[in-house]
Amino acid sequence: MIPEQDKTVCFTGHRTIMPSDIKPLMNALDRMIQLLISEGYTTFLCGGALGFDMLAEEAIIRARKNHPHIRLVLVIPCREQSARWAADEKSRYNDLLFQADDFIVLSPHYYAGCMLTRNRYMVEHSSRCICYLFTMRGGTMSTVRYALQKQIRVDNLAMDLVVHNSALLKEDAAWNYTFISRFAGKNAGTVLSHPFQIRKKKWNHMWKL
């Protein structure tokens, strides 16, 4: 079932997460999901990938215990998504599929570009995007760019964590941030971020340009 777009939010983030970021990121996800629920979002789309996707899915399941009206929908790029994963990763993935309220499989088989199709599907059926983005390359950056092109609000949880030095972050205003890559000639685009005040001074100090 295709969800109502204005009440739907999608999640996108890197597969590799620094060990020191995992616990803070879990806490940030819990806070963000509570905020989204308070703002009327009821459907949460996740791609079922390793890393951030699974953390987001587990956070939504935690929140659903106290908010049984919300729905976790997994958008699967192909049935073979987990074919090459390790046994423990497959077990975790299968458990999340079982606990999801619904799932959408976009292709019976893997093909080049199926992940991109999955990411664009989620953006096109959402009115908000929550990301964990700290590098200017890869599928997460591509998804964020696409969401910005569609004029969908993007909240970047990486802004609230201590992340790598691969990207510089410039604060334009309380809710507006521009990502500037050391390796790019121009700004990647404006990304809205929910600012947790405890981190604000640290960001201003760490990311002076």
pLDDT digits (tens, 9 = 90+) for 67-96: 999 999 999 999 989 988 999 999 999 999
Residue 191: its pLDDT value, please?
53
Sheet holding 167-173, edge to edge: 167-173, 176-181, 190-192
CA distance 164 to 18: 9
Residue 138: its pLDDT value, please?
84
* Average pLDDT over every residue of 184-191: 45
CA of residue 131 relative to chain centroid, distance: 3
pLDDT digits (tens, 9 = 90+) for 109-121: 999 999 999 999 9
Closest of 117, 140, 114, 115 to residue 129, by C-alpha: 140
Could you give the domains of the chain? 5-161 (3.40.50.450)
Closest of 172, 203, 202, 175 to residue 187, by C-alpha: 172
Model confidence at 50, in pLDDT bands (50, 70, 90)? very high
Q: Is pLDDT at 206 greater than 50 in this prediction? A: no
Helices 114-124 and 139-149: angle between axes, nearest 10 degrees: 30
pLDDT digits (tens, 9 = 90+) for 111-152: 999 999 999 999 999 999 999 987 777 889 889 888 888 888
CA distance 60 to 104: 17
Closest of 62, 61, 54, 55 to residue 24, by C-alpha: 55
